[in-house]
Each structure stands twice: as C-alpha cells, then as structure tokens.
Structure 1
C-alpha cells in the first residue's frame, strides 16, 4: 500500500473515529447542554436539510462568498502595490498597519450606522477582516521575487505589465494562496459574528436564536454545520491551489532534483579514499 493511500485513509478515518466516540459516549447523556449526538444529527437533518438550507445557509454562504472575493481582490491589489513600490509602502503602510490592528468585529456598529443592517454591512465586515492576511502575504511574496528573474525578464524586453503578470505574480502566488487560506477561516468567523447582530436570517442568527430558545440540539446542529462548511470550503480551496500551483511544485521538484548532490556508491567512495 502506497504512502499516499495510507495518509488519505488516516485523514478520512480520524474524524469518523472521533464522531463514533462522540456518538457512543453521549448516547446515554441526560445533560441539557450536551444532548446525544443522535439527537443532534436528527435535528441537523430536520433543520439544515430542509427550510434552513434555503432560509439561512444559502444567504450566509452568499454573503461570505461576496465578502471573501472583495477582500481577496483588494488584498492582492493593495499587497502588490505595497510590494512593488517603496512610495506606496511609505504612503499606505501606516494606514494598513492601523486598520490591521483593529478587530473587524469592533467595526460592526460603524457598519450598521453607515450601511444599515442589511447584507451590505455583513459583506463589508467580512471583506475588511479577510483582506489583511492577503495584503501582508502578497506584499511579502512580491518583495521576495528573485532579482535574477526580474533581470532576465528585462533582458527579454518585457514591459512592466508583462513582468507583473508573467514573473511577479506567479512567483508570489504560493504566498498569496497562503494568505487566501488564512482569510478563508476569518471570513467564516466574521460571517457568523456579523449575523448574530441585527440580523433576521443566516447561520449565525439561527445558532443565536436556538441558544436564546434553549434549543440546544438545534444550536449544536448549527455548530456542526459550520464545521462541515469550513472543512469543505477549505478543501475546495486546497484543490484549486494544487491545480493553479502545479507548475510551482514541478519547478521545485526539478530544481531540487538537479541541485541535490549525488552520492557515490559506498564501494566507489572506499576505493577513492584508498
């Protein structure tokens, strides 16, 4: 059995083992706050595979997708500018550091005052919180591009736009994707938090309402849904990253294969030493 199959089996079996333990250990639970997993799964099917999917889950995913995409685009553009231009770093750097230090959730009252309590406020909060990891990783990736690559591109007569699209961004793409994966978790968190304040639908709203109504099984079902969504969305981004950065892994493998020193056989080394 190959190592890849073993690792995939472990990745699949480990959460199943945890769920099985949870199911068995909670089977006889009479604690109001920790209902049996069987009851949680029952409510999960009734709530989130029915009307809850359309009324709460899909609006939440739409807000998260919109805010995440806006934050990603703004983060890549701003990070590229900060990485390429010293003047941009001097001009925008202090502002970026100031806003980055502010937790996005504390700006929810500001968002309510400016945008109201509708979807625009939630998208704004998600975009604001999720853009800064992309900004920092993109700027660091752009600054880390090998000067030799830039010299070669100039010698081939590339314009600035061609150097940006063909050299700079591809070279920085591994770090850009690292920022995108970090931002994805923040977007999910901010989606939930923003929906718990002045909202009438969404996963966060549904979980908060279940807690207020002491429907603990419904509350745990919503939390379970968030965990599943986070895992699936991150898996999709990982698959996209592998496809987009396939050239990068191939390049590293070829470079390491060429750069790795070849060791002579033991008998040959012994003969040379003699």
Structure 2
C-alpha cells in the first residue's frame, strides 16, 4: 500500500519561525556590534593619522615661531586633515601644556566625534559633540603646572581670598588670556575656584557657557569638581551637576578701580552627583 507523504503542520511551521526569530534576535545584535566596533576602530585609526600630522607639523611651526598663530587658523586645520588623508573636520585643537606642540583636539570623522587627551594619550569616541565636554578640558588645564602656579599665588596673598572668578579682574583675566592663547573659545565657559583654608569644600565649578552681566537674574548649568579637604586639588573629586543663578559682584582691580562682573551664586544649590 502506497503511503501518502505528509507535509508540515501549521504548528510545526510556527515553531520553526519562532526559533528562527529567537536566533535572529540573538545573532543580529552581536553581528551589528562587531560591525559597529570595526567602524569605530577605523575612525580611531584615522584620528591617529591626524595626531601624527599635527605633531610633526607643530615641530616645524614651533621652530619658526608660527605655532601659536596656526593653532586657531581654520585653513591650517583643513590642511592637517588633507595631509592626514582623512575626510573629516577639525573641530578644535589646542596647544600642549608647554605650548611647544599641539595638545588636545576634537575631530569629526564619518559622522562621529573623536577627542584626543594629550596628557593621557587617550582617544574618546562620541556620537554627540555635547558629550565631548568642555568642563573636563578646562579643569585639567587649570590644574596643569603652567596654571596652578598662578592660582596658588593668588590664594597665597596676604588677604587670603577664598575664591577666584574667571570673569573677575586681575588673576581671573590673566587665566582667561592664557586659555585663549592655548586655543580655547572663551564663549564656551566660565569658572570659579574655591579654596577653603582648613575647610572641607575645595571646588572647581565650570559652566557650559560664558556668563555676563546681561545674564544676571537668569541661570546656567554647571559642573562642579568637589575635592573636599584637598587644598591642592590632587584627590579624586566628586563630580556634581546643577543649574545655578547668576549674580553680580564688585571688587577692586590692581589700579584700585571698582569692577562689577557676573558670578555663579552657589548658595543653597541642589547638587546632583554624576
């Protein structure tokens, strides 16, 4: 007797489809992850090429006394990318601590942003430029040897001040000029340094934009690095975030003239620990 071939039942087909869907749900993200990692590695390799060119170029520019002028020259930024054979954009570049070579930079390659930390010799990849935070860059700069000496000189004067405001006269303006010379856009931040003698709240607070007297009465987002009792800011800080009011302050400059400028009001702030 001839047996009739039997096909798959509907339940068997559904079971097979479910198994295929489960396998796809497992395999596709893994494969996508490998593909994404490969793309990121390629982007970092391109950023390495940019680093090589900036360092080699800076040797010749420094020898000719042209490095300081070139670091903010957008035409030179494009030239660097071309010499590195990288299709992308140099977003920003700064001098190193000794100002004898290029230092930190941010480039946009294949739709992603790559930041290079010269002190750590480290690349960081981000989808969003806002994640390449100015706060940490400015904080690291302020704690570098060329800046911390001037900061300590300020805090060690006879009147023993407890805070240093970036928008204030005297040392504040000196530090801003130094940051400008290193390639920082001063419209992107303001800062305040607190140094409590014998206290337990030594902090560096940095905003995400420059504050002005026109902004008094409004608020601004800030990141605060809280070093506790570490007066030399050498300990690992607690990083906090808040939105704080802007107020005005009046002091005398070195010529004994009264100067009014904008500052953060850090009293009664509800901090969020990052």
TM over 0.5: no
Larger strand proportion of the pair: 2
Q: Higher relative contact order at CA 8 Å, sep ≥6: structure 1 or structure 2? A: 1
TM-score between both structures, scaled by the size of structure 1: 0.30
Rg larger in structure: 2
TM-score between both structures, scaled by the size of structure 2: 0.30
Larger helix proportion of the pair: 1
